[in-house]
Amino acid sequence: MKYISTRGQGEPKDFQGVLLAGLAEDGGLYVPESLPQFSADKISSLKGLPYNELAFEIIKPFVGGTIADDKLQQMINDSYGSFSHKAVAPLQQLDANQWVMELFHGPTLAFKDFALQLLGRLLDHVLTERNEKAVVLGATSGDTGSAAIEGCRHSEHLEIFILHPYQRVSEVQRRQMTTILDKNVHNIAIKGNFDDCQDMVKQCFADQSFLPENTRLVAVNSINWARIMAQIVYYFYAGLNLGTPEQAVSFSVPTGNFGDIFAGYIARGMGLPVDKLIVATNNNDILHRFFQNNDYRKESLHQTLSPSMDIMVSSNFERLLFDMHKRDGASMHELMDKFQKTGTIQVSDTAWQDIKSLFDSCRSDDQQVCETITELNANTAYLADPHTATGIRAVQELDLARETPVVTLATAHPVKFPEAIVKAGLNAPSLPHHMADLHDREERYDILENDLNILKDYIQNT
Ligand SMILES: *Cc1c(COP(=O)(O)O)cnc(C)c1O
């Protein structure tokens, strides 16, 4: 299995290469040269497997022999063994044809644990084998940071630096990061918004000369292919539980950076029968505007009750654009350069129509999110978090669950976002047992100006 950059330059890399690189040298994102194909018979043979065994079957072809099978299975077992629900990704039925798949039973109570529990172990394994050390650098709008820290904190080969926008993540989210006091964990609050943080991370990757020699920078945000890879698994898991391959399934996905839903797109490309993929956004609706009007245009950032989806641009969208441009790296290079200058992208009408046959979208503002939480709770007693609620509302709004089963990905536990739950007129749930004292734990983080050089100095001197 080889991986190529969406911007067409540089040599193809193997799995270990893309795991350690994150972003490609030409500024593009790595994608598989071609996807492993799972026939209907092969998919049938996966029915009934426990989550960790299914994960091995799906992930193995992407690793392409660069990690021994028994080691890979062990890391997968350890990753999902830390989840508090035996099914790992349990499905709850809401209606005749409607389900939620709960992806929040990992250590930090959001779906990002699926990828980052495994990513931390993969990095540790590969670096141990190579006898190397690495600096993990990432930006978070909330959930990535804590999941990455949980995934990396035990590795002796990693120093981890996580940037979050100062005073723009929820209290629970911040404390889940800043109360981890391991020596290799460094939390930085940047006086700016999430996109400022993400830009700084990108610029550090583009020019790594500030780092000491022989130290490598590793990306843990969803531009890292290994994260997408781990997320493909639960699409298969949902499908298999709902009658795949005979039965097609649709998915509604609360979306920010387009990583989670892109994994669903890849699952479909591998042979999973997926009918529709629904992009559910909050008021940060750049993707909704694209799927409705072919208008991908950077606008200002809105703070919402679903902060993990508060983004201006969706970094993984470039991977879909690459396919929409017939995988032509040269024209992608041009397109992304133009986007950098003008802040807008439009694709050809044919390409847009084509992608619309698979994707649809729906935007929900804070009020609609709260109404959805309230109504759903009144009708089913289910308590959805505000991110999940955007997905559930999209299913209702687009009237999807008529013939095809629809699965909304429940991306976070409602306890992480009490503000929205209270606004919805419900009681905020209490923290689960292992986090009950979160608000009493000691915190450690530094606040830095929104300035690249200050950040580079900080990393250098740590
Ligand atoms: C990260 C996150 C999202 C958005 O996922 P993307 O892969 O960035 O599209 C949605 N909900 C929650 C709770 C998240 O943490």
Most ligand 1 atoms within 8 A of CB, residue of 29, 109, 111 to mutate? 111
Q: What is the pLDDT of residue 202?
A: 85
pLDDT of residue 21: 84
Q: Which residues in 181-203 are b (16+ Cβ under 10 Å) and which e?
A: eeebbbbbbbebbbbbbbbbbbe
Q: How many CB atoms lie within 10 A of CB 267?
A: 26
Residue 150 pLDDT: 95
CA of 232 to the centre of ligand 1 (A): 15
pLDDT band per the 50, 70, 90 thresholds, residue 10: confident
Confirm if 397 and 243 have CB atoms less than 8 A apart: no
CA of 213 to the centre of ligand 1 (A): 34
159 lines ligand 1 (CB under 6 A): no
Going by C-alpha positions, the residue among 51, 124, 43 that lies closest to residue 85 is 51
d(CA 255, CA 261): 7
CA distance 428 to 415: 7
Of 168 and 48, the one with more pLDDT: 48
What was the pLDDT predicted at 422? 97
Query: Is residue 414 within 6 Å of ligand 1 at its C-beta?
Result: no
pLDDT over 90, % of the chain: 84
Give the per-residue pLDDT at 205.
Answer: 84
Mean pLDDT, residues 250-264 taken together: 97
pLDDT for 108 beyond 80 = yes
pLDDT surpassing 80 at residue 159: yes
Options 2, 71, 112, 456, the catalytic residue: 112
Residues 6 or more apart in contact with residue 287 via CB below 8 angstroms: 255, 258, 279, 281, 296, 314, 317, 361
**pLDDT at 410 exceeding the cut of 90:** yes
* Domain residue ranges in the chain: 89-110+232-423
Average pLDDT for residues 132-145, to the nearest whole number? Answer: 88
pLDDT band with cut points at 50, 70 and 90 for residue 38: very high
Task: Please give the residue that has the higher pLDDT: either 457 or 433.
Answer: 457
- For residue 279 and ligand 1, the question of a CB distance below 6 A is answered with no
pLDDT band at 6 (very low <50, low <70, confident <90, very high): very high
Does the domain at residues 89-110+232-423 carry the CATH identifier 3.40.50.1100?
yes
CA angle, 293 then 295 then 301, to 5°:
120
Average pLDDT value over all residues in the chain: 95
Residue 73's pLDDT is what? 98
Tens-place pLDDT, residues 161-179 = 999 999 988 888 899 999 9
What is the average per-residue pLDDT within 54-78? 98
Cα angle for residues 166, 134, 209 (degrees, 5° grid):
80
Distance (Å) from CA 66 to ligand 1 centroid:
29
Selection from 299, 274, 253 nearest residue 111 by Cα:
253
Ordered alpha helix ranges (H), 131-258: 143-152, 171-178, 194-206, 225-241
The yes-or-no verdict on residue 357 having pLDDT over 80 is yes
Determine whether the shortest distance from the Cβ of 264 to ligand 1 is under 6 A: no
pLDDT band with cut points at 50, 70 and 90 for residue 31: very high
Distance of alpha carbon 301 from alpha carbon 19, whole angstroms:
30
Q: How confident is the model at residue 432 (pLDDT cuts 50, 70, 90)?
A: confident
| Whole-number pLDDT of residue 168 | 86
Per-residue pLDDT at 248 = 97
**Separation between Cα atoms, residue 416 and residue 158, nearest integer Å:** 27
Rounded CA-CA distance 427/97 in Å is 28
Atom of ligand 1 nearest to the CA of 416: 13
Q: What is the pLDDT of residues 279-301, one digit of tens each?
A: 999 999 999 999 999 999 999 98
Asked if residue 401 has pLDDT above 80, the reply is no
Beta-strand relationship, 296-297 and 344-345: antiparallel
411 pocket-lining for ligand 1 (C-beta < 6 Å) = yes
**For residue 244, what pLDDT is reported?**
95
With 90 as the cut, is the pLDDT of residue 222 above it? Answer: no
Mutate to test the pocket of ligand 1, among 411, 419, 421 (most ligand atoms within 8 A of CB): 411
- 273 to each of 40, 361, 375, how far by Cα in Å? 9, 19, 31
Q: How far is the CA of 113 from the centre of ligand 1 (A)?
A: 11
**Residue that has been written with the tokens 């194909």 in this structure:** 37
User: Is the distance from the beta carbon of residue 102 to the nearest atom of ligand 1 less than 6 Å?
Assistant: no
Residue 142 has pLDDT above 80, yes or no: no
Question: If you average pLDDT over residues 343-351, what whole number do you get?
Answer: 96
Q: Are 347 and 325 in contact (CB under 8 A)?
A: yes
Cis peptide before 90 (omega within 30 of 0): no
Distance CA(165)–CA(154), nearest Å, equals 25
Q: Active-site residue 133, yes or no?
A: no
Coil, strand or helix at 304: coil
The answer, yes or no, to whether residue 41 has pLDDT greater than 90, is: yes
The set of long-range contacts for 80-83, using a CB threshold of 8 Å and a minimum separation of 24, is: 80/51, 80/52, 80/55, 80/114, 80/117, 81/52, 82/106, 82/107, 82/113, 82/117, 83/107, 83/113
Residues in the chain: 462
Is residue 362 over pLDDT 90? yes
CA of 161 to the centre of ligand 1 (A): 20
pLDDT value at 431 more than 80: yes
Paired with 363 in beta bridges are: 281
pLDDT in tens, 434-444: 888 999 999 99
Mean pLDDT of 235-262: 97
256 lines ligand 1 (CB under 6 A): yes
Q: What is the side-by-side strand order in the sheet with 446-448?
A: 216-219, 134-139, 158-165, 185-190, 446-448
Residue linked to tokens 């990704």: 89
For 79, phi and psi rounded to 5 degrees?
A: -60, -50
Q: Cβ contacts of residue 101 below 8 Å, gap of 6+?
A: 89, 90, 91, 92, 234, 237, 238, 407, 408, 409, 410
Q: 337: which residues sit within 8 A by CB, 6+ positions away?
A: none
